[in-house]
Amino acid sequence: MLKQYLQFKLSQKLSPQQIQLMKLIQLPTQAFEQRLKQELEENPALDTGKESDAKDNELDEFDNSQDDYNDNDTIDTGDINVDEYLSDDEIPDYRTHANNYSADDDEKSIPYAAGTSFTQHLISQLNTFRLNDQEYEIAQFLVGSVDESGYIRRSLSDITDDLAFTQNIYTEESEVEKVLGIVHQLDPAGVGARNLQECLSIQLNRKEQHPDVALATKIINKAFDQFTKKHYKKLLQKFSVTEEQLKDAIEEIENLNPKPGGSYAGSNRMVEHVVPDFAIKIVEGELELTLNGRNAPELHVSRTYNNMLKGYKESKEKTKSQKDAVMFIKQKLDAAKWFIEAVRQRQQTLFVTMSSIMHYQKEYFLTGDERNLKPMILKDIADEIEMDVSTVSRVANSKYVDTPYGTKLIKEFFSESMTNDQGEEVSTREIKKILETVVEEEDKKKPLTDDKLAGILKEKGYPIARRTVAKYREQLDIPVARLRKKI
């Protein structure tokens, strides 16, 4: 038996324009400049900079000569309302420039690290070794497999297969391993290692040999698991050494580089400097907020395109070709006007959101003391500025602000709250800062367990559970007590 029934569903869909606006809001300054450049290249109806006072040359595309058309080409143009695209002013101005933006347009170039890439640096060293053609090609392939940290993360069997399928080099794992040994002789020391243990072992073998290095090498090669777990008593027994000897050997290991690729200035990564999207200054005891001027371009609709519409409107006879041209112009003008309005809304949204955050955290911005950060979640700001939480999130997660205390990612000012023993709401950032200080000042020979840390925080007026301490410790990238132990 068939049943019929009605189902009502309430849903909200964003228009393509709203989606594009959200994407614009999410872009940091440098990415926004790239997006602006792209739009200017793609839409000739959009101009940037101050409009020229000089009168544009008259266009002859829409003169009254109809030599190329017959009578049948004339068309009815009642469906094209040109007037709505022509303002009362001769040249409608949609510039978005305002006076609450900082004048920091001088340095617009994006700085990158100079020099050769990490891969090129390694390949250039291969020429110092005696290799036949196949060995050289294998070595090049291995170097190309080195990641940004300096490691080769793939198995030799996978590399051997890839050599056959992609390079037409048919070889054995034993030969690949032999060539890998040559790669291990390249600088920086430790490059091409397959794991941390091998990386540290390579570096120790390259060091000048003395008793401390010899013991460190034994620890890495024969007791790596005990070393990483800081089972120092087991190491003392295994190698029959004194505590002082073990301490010296561990110091040798701690001075090694666990990421040899990261130490090379000409790494594959381009080092892009952070450009603050906002700046906060203290002027006569009051906070002053400015939006980076690079987010406030002067935009307007092209004078040429407006003149083309005027020429079309004034012509007595309209041809099909002219109508097609006008439809194209209308499309570009619509896109230009929308983009200008979207940029204006982006500026307003960024400024209003950051202004609200600044006033909410006024005490912090005046002092720079993280303990003065108030509990603040996205909804607090969203409610205050009457915008969606997702909009605030887009601003907070991708924007930086220049403060008297350094350049900060805006999302760092957000934190949950908890109640202290006096019934006051405090920021979890405040608790994390105290936790960090307690760990820094602890006796590293007897580091504090999470239970003891919870006890200390309780004494300071923050009654939180051990599991919460563990969560905060992990968020701060602080290892467990056993791994913080030193001899």
Widest Cα–Cα separation across the chain: 107
Q: What is the pLDDT of residue 298?
A: 83
**Pairwise CA distance, residues 204 & 220, whole Å:** 9
pTM for this entry: 0.53
* pLDDT, mean of each 10-residue run, the chain (487 residues): 55 64 85 88 79 40 36 41 48 50 49 58 82 85 84 85 82 87 87 88 86 87 84 85 86 84 54 78 92 85 73 64 76 85 91 94 89 84 90 88 90 75 67 83 83 85 82 82 75
**Pairwise CA distance, residues 214 & 208, whole Å:** 10
User: Looking at this protein, which amino acid is placed at residue 149?
Assistant: S
Q: What angle in degrees, to the nearest 10, is found between the helix axes of 29-42 and 320-360?
A: 170
DSSP label of 354: H
Q: What is the pLDDT of residue 359?
A: 94
Q: What is the pLDDT of residue 143?
A: 86
For 289, phi then psi, to 5°, come to -110, 135
> Are 417 and 375 a contacting pair, CB within 8 Å?
yes
Classified as helix, coil or strand, 345 is helix
Q: What is the pLDDT of residue 351?
A: 94
Q: Classify 287 in phi/psi space as left (phi over 0), alpha (psi -120 to 50) or beta.
A: beta
Q: What is the pLDDT of residue 450?
A: 86
